[in-house]
A and B are shown apart, each in its own frame.
Chain A
Amino acid sequence: MNMATFSKREYAREREQERKIALMKASPAKPLRRKLSTLLLFVLMTLVGLLMLVPLWWMISTSLKSMQEIMSYPPTIVPEQVHWDNYIHAWQKGHFGRYALNTLLLAGIGVFSHVLSNTFVAYGFAKIRFKGKKLLFSIMLGTMMIPSFVTLIPQYILFSKLHWINTYLPLTVPGFFGSAFQIFLVRQFFMTIPNELIEAGKVDGANHFRIWWQLMLPLSLPVIATIAIMTFQGAWNDFTGPLIYINSESLFNLQIGLQAFKSTETTQWHYLMAGSVIVLLPVVLLFFLFQKYFIEGMNISSATKG
């Protein structure tokens, strides 16, 4: 046995002991009662947890059944016969292929524009001294309180005057001008990067533009991942924007497409559920791949107000 593993094991044992002491401190007596209550809670949580998952299970299960089986009583929990063709029907009849490409395009532009503009603006707010910065920053925080519907209609009028209706411009261009919440998020992260680094960059002859691009961005990948995920999710789920600005069926995104599909296939639950799985699955996969960043965004947003 070599030294490294030995010390690692010893370290682990020490940690375990510490944990036990901490546990005992938390409940000096009645370990049995505590164990029992934990067991009880475990059972309860398992039940509630299953309850939370049932809708998702039911969606997948229904998407693979025949209409006949859906109508049968008592309902089957697992499809008797797996109908993959439901997905083929939904994919083709719902034109989900085209909508998926449209949605990916919108999400891609969204992520690109948000990462670019929000890190750029955040750098100005975090690392450059100039008059009026504090005032501008508090105005920006204030805009987070404005409900989106106050600006929704006048923005529509603006875009219609520009003849941007039924194009992707209203859905993509604003992203290049930054969003208050994400600027705030990135700025908080930038503040933790020491100023000495920037001074060192300046001594090496770099201007702010280069420092932002070559120094700050590579150091900020965690927060960039967080805002990228947030933006992707927002674009993927955007319903109101396309509903207002897009009329042509060929430009629909998945949300509007699914809504249209819903209207034509009312109560054809197997097709509707196949369509829903198609639309929801990418977000679920994204969540399991990048759970950390979903939670990160949540935590930072709460820490700011707490």
Chain B
Amino acid sequence: MAHPQHAAARRGRSLASREALQGFVFVSPWILGFLLFTAGPMLFSLYASFTNYDITSQMAWIGFKNYDTMLNHDPLFWKSLRNTLYFVVISVPLQTAAGLLLAMILNRRMPGIRLFRTVFYLPSVLSGVGVYVLWMMLLSPSAGLVNLTLSWLGIDGPAWLTDPAWTKNAIILMKLWGSGSMMLLYLASLQGVPSKLYEAAELDGAGRLRKFWHVTLPMITPVIFFEIVTGFIGGFQIFQEGYVMSYGNDPGAPMNSLLFYNLHMFLKAFKVFDMGYAMAMAWFLFLIVLLLTLINLTLSRFWVHYEGGEQ
């Protein structure tokens, strides 16, 4: 016979372990999914990036050959990387600035303010092929609404999606139209700035510009930082625009000016089935994005202000 105290302790222990078991049961779908769809595939792709894998034939270890080809013998690799960088470097800051400007203006009492917010947010809800087709029409060189408007202003508009020098700008313009979601985030954070801070600044005789520079801006730096980091990560994944909005249904055309990094990778993987090479490309981009995010994080210490000190 067990001692009653021991029995109670055992019961407590077994209760706790039964609780723990249930906890595992609840999170097990995610654990399984993580192993099957994230961790497993990542490990496999890391390995396969050192092989000549093409789905049909036996895979063979070829060392760093894919990486060597990528960096030294594939001009389209560099082209696609440059295209992507061009898009990210111009689009992300532009969208950040536009979103902030709109939020600043909409963060005040004005008749119809709710309607304004809805109107500016609406385009960002729309995405996908429908929007691409719409902008292909708006940007069509001779009959498109954009160039028509420009011609009323006496400007001779470019051939947007058919002129390789302008294709990426066309997509940046389209993305700017949909930057309302950023505006919404800034609006929320602007409304979180305590009015006491403004009152104190006013007592010190600060004008509107100084209040913005010394109160508003520091208080919303965490959101700006969030937007820049996620904007960069998202921007590097641009793919569909180059696939759908290309000239003559030839992905990346004209003259590969819309061949973004992920599009090049996609074509390598699913058009010529050079899977090993494509996976090397994926890992290379993963490293770039990781590095950029780390740089962003490090730099953030100098300009991102968190309430309540260090974080």
Contacts and interface: CB of A to CB of B under 8 A. Distances in A.
A214 interface: no
A95 interface: no
B112 to A, nearest CB: 8
A177 B282 contact: no
B38 interface: yes
A302 B279 contact: no
B226 to A, nearest CB: 4
Contacts of A123: 26
A178 B244 contact: no
Contacts of A148: 237
B265 interface: yes
Contacts, number: 249
Given A38-B108, A283-B125, A306-B223, A52 B177 contact: yes
Interface string A247-261: 000000001001100
A157 B118 contact: no
B29 A120 contact: yes
Interface residues of B, number: 92
Interface in A157-212: 157-158, 160, 174, 176-178, 180, 183, 207-208, 212
A294 B282 CA distance: 31
A107 B214 CA distance: 47
Contacts of B177: 52, 55
A219 interface: no
A150 B195 CA distance: 45
A143 B34 contact: yes
Interface stretch (A4-12, A220-228, A273-281): A273-281
Contacts of B289: 147
A305 B290 CA distance: 17
B119 A49 contact: yes
B34 A130 contact: no
A145 B120 CA distance: 28
A121 interface: yes
B286 interface: yes
A76 interface: no
A41 B223 contact: no
A3 interface: no
Contacts of A291: 118
Interface stretch (B66-74, B161-169, B184-192): B184-192
B233 A55 contact: no
A146 B44 contact: no
Nearest to A41: B105
Interface string A90-120: 0000000000000000000000000001001
A160 B30 CA distance: 22
Interface string B29-57: 11111101110111011001000000100
Interface of B is mostly: helix
A149 B109 contact: no
Interface string A287-301: 100010011001100
A154 B29 contact: no
B41 A154 contact: yes
Contact of A176 (B29, B41, B269): B29
Contacts of A177: 29-30, 32-34, 36-37
A87 B109 CA distance: 42
Contacts of B236: 147
A24 interface: no
B58 interface: no
Contact of B188 (A58, A128, A276, A299): A299
Nearest to A19: B109
A155 interface: yes
Contact of A146 (B42, B120, B123, B129): B42
B26 A151 contact: no
Given A52-B122, A143-B38, A306-B189, A153 B278 contact: yes
Contacts of A129: 16, 19-20, 23
Given A121-B29, A155-B41, A150 B286 contact: yes
B157 interface: no
A88 interface: no
Given A59-B134, A143-B34, A150-B42, A255 B122 contact: no
A38 B109 contact: yes
A55 B291 CA distance: 38
A70 B143 contact: yes
Given A52-B180, A154-B42, A272-B137, 8 more contacts: A45-B105, A49-B119, A70-B143, A151-B42, A155-B41, A239-B128, A255-B129, A298-B181
Report the 9 A-B pairs with minimum CB-CB distance, sorted nearest first: A177-B33, A124-B26, A130-B23, A154-B41, A128-B23, A130-B20, A276-B130, A237-B128, A124-B27
25 contacts: A25-B199, A38-B110, A44-B105, A52-B122, A56-B122, A123-B26, A124-B27, A128-B23, A136-B31, A143-B34, A149-B262, A149-B265, A153-B282, A154-B44, A154-B45, A177-B30, A178-B29, A236-B128, A239-B240, A255-B129, A262-B129, A276-B131, A287-B122, A294-B121, A305-B226
